[in-house]
Amino acid sequence: MPAKVVVIGSLNMDLVTRAPRLPRGGETLIGESFATVSGGKGANQAVAAARLGAQVSMVGCVGSDAYGEELRGALLAEQIDCQAVSTVDDSSGVALIVVDDNSQNAIVIVAGANGALTPEVIDRFGAVLRASDVIICQLEVPDATVGHALKRGRELGKTVILNPAPASRPLPADWYASIDYLIPNESEASALSGLPVDSLASAETAASRLIAMGAGKVIITLGAQGSLFANGKGFEHFPAPKVKAVDTTAAGDTFVGGFAAALAAGISEADAIRFGQVAAALSVTRAGAQPSIPTLSDVQAFKAP
């Protein structure tokens, strides 16, 4: 049987526009295209883990609107178990995304139904958590829910991954003891550690602080510079595969989902990181969030140029 991954988090409808560059404050730009795409960090990571070989269950909330039906349908199309995706009397979460000609993006999120994912909802689906090998959380649902999910994962003896995104401030101190793998990007690592992260050396310093704060292991994703792994005993830098980027949306989510799927399948940490990096690299060669996420066969067929 495939390894079981449970993702606890957000489902958003991404409203995506492309423009020559990101707008400045007070400025109106003429966009080049617009699309609605199923997304949300939680749902993206669930899709990534499913396409990359895991048996996946999603725990989250959608609204009683057309977007909610579409978001659930997108997960079901990936053979993701949605018994723990609840419909609530609210609008579904949305993300307003602008992508520029350099493939950089700016995102504004409106939580909507994601705000209804409470600790009580997590407990209602305890059987789903107990059946898992790996539990993944992010920060697009209420903090109380994230903290509760992390602790439940630790109590159940599961491998617990936290992707602290989006992060603008330090995490609650009591969360760290429940985290096996903390996976921030550069800006998130800086927000959590209080240190600048703009080079490999500064990433090592920030990772050391996060380990000292209680995280089990830290993986800082560095975009085109790859990833830095830290476990309190040392560091290892994993260079990124070289590809031509089209759209970086969901690259981090693809890495997290791929890493979790590989880790749950019994692959070593180092190889799971490399697997996640190849998946993320392939995702940036395609536009959109979930549409850009590769399959297991895509990753297996990848050959670095």
Active site residues: 253
Residue 43: closest CA among 32, 29, 59, 27: 59
Sign (positive or negative) of CA dihedral 106, 43, 230, 191 = positive
Structure tokens at 283: 């995702």
- Phi first, then psi, for residue 5 (nearest 5°) are -120, 130
| Segment holding 235, helix H or strand E | strand 235-238
Secondary structure (DSSP) of 153-174? HHHTT-EEEE---S-SSPPPGG
Please confirm whether the linkage preceding 170 is cis (ω < 30° from 0). Answer: no
> What burial class does residue 31 get, using C-beta atoms within 10 Å of its C-beta: 0-12 exposed, 13-18 middle, 19+ buried?
middle
For residues 98 and 17, is the Cβ–Cβ distance under 8 A? Answer: yes
Residue type, 230: A
DSSP state of 21: S
